[in-house]
Amino acid sequence: MKCVVLAAGEGKRMHPLTYTQPKVMLPVANKPILEWNMLHAKQAGIKEFIFVVGYRYDAVRNYFKEGEQWNVQINYVNQGKPQGTGHAVHMVEPFVDDFIVLCGDTIFGTKDIQNILQKKQSIGICTVPNPSEYGVVETKDGTLIQIHEKTKRFFSDEINAGIYHFDKTIFNSLALVQRSVRGEYELTDAINDQTKQKSFQAIQIKGWSDVVYPWDLLDANREMFKNIDFKRDGEVEDGAVLKGDVKVGTGARILTGSYIEGPVIIGENSKIGPNCYIRPYTCIGDHCHVGNACEVKDSVIMHHSNVPHQNYVGDSIIGSYCNLGAGTKIANLRLDKHSIKVYINGKVVDTMRRKLGVLMGDNVQTGINAQINVGSIIGNGSYIGPGALCSGSFAPHSRIY
């Protein structure tokens, strides 16, 4: 049995984080989304993978190589110009027979993958509060009738979860698929064709973490904390306080005066403290520094980033290789306490979150006493000058004074 993982997309709704890396490589609990799926599929019994790559594919290949580190076999198919999920699956026809497909930017649980493996001609479905973001499924007695893509009539809150078990006949249906209104070849059109010919089982998915917008990483982070082994391999100095589940990576140093309330993950070779406060559900990457008089709460700080001097970071995503100047403060709560709206890709989106700080791309630098307002989006390579107020959405390589 082979597992085909669709990992070619950019993930435009994940800007600014995906300007510099594919969506599947964004970290959740310090592992790329794609790694979680590979590990869970391996636990379900799969040893052979095909990654369909495209956008910034070198990031995937350089990280996973041929899979030896995880004792699995990984082969790659380059989709080239993105032409939809149907096109992506069609490209693996010469290499598969009976196989499963995972959408690589959604994390699936081991048990759910096992259930799909056991049921030929099956699709995973999931109940969600916001079906408008997905394809709504129509089922009867556990059998799929049809997938309704981006329908305006929400007769159900059950959606296509993005995990499938196919046999070779799916390629007959894919050969018939025409471009959709989006100009793409849709896998769901082929599945709808299959349902006219044979029974397609709908299997309820339970361990499912989807990441649509950048702030969804915060929720996925919380969910994946349940699967972490909170070992303390690094150095914890006398005078540091670690309460609850705190993972300390190899080579990390927790200095005197640091106060950490778990669950928290500290990556390898990171330096924490002295005299800082890290609050629950924070994930700090490898080679990071959180320094004196800083407070970090419910945030993701990616590899090689620094929050070193008198900073506050709450409910935020900080990309890789960022540096916050002394006194930089990030607001995470509106004065009127209403949910926070963001301006992303030319559209205002209600995050439905009461607290949200900044969504910061890679290689962003701030000057001393910079201020960042709630729900701000800062593109990669941007500079925020000393004492500047940053509020709203900023393109990559912006200069804010």
**Catalytic residue list:** 309
**Residue 371's CB: how many other CB atoms inside 10 A?**
17
SS3 state of residue 243: strand
Enumerate residues 6+ apart whose C-beta is below 8 A from 342.
348, 349, 351, 356, 359, 375, 377, 393
Centroid of chain to Cα 254: 27
Quickly tell me which residue has 């380059």 as its tokens: 78
Pairing verdict, β 358-360 and 341-344: unpaired
**Residues 238, 234: Cα–Cα separation, whole Å:** 13
Pairing verdict, β 122-127 and 201-204: parallel
Enumerate residues 6+ apart whose C-beta is below 8 A from 196.
none
**Residues 276, 293: Cα–Cα separation, whole Å:** 5
On whether the CB atoms of residues 193 and 170 are closer than 8 A, the answer is: no
**Residues 180, 186: Cα–Cα separation, whole Å:** 7
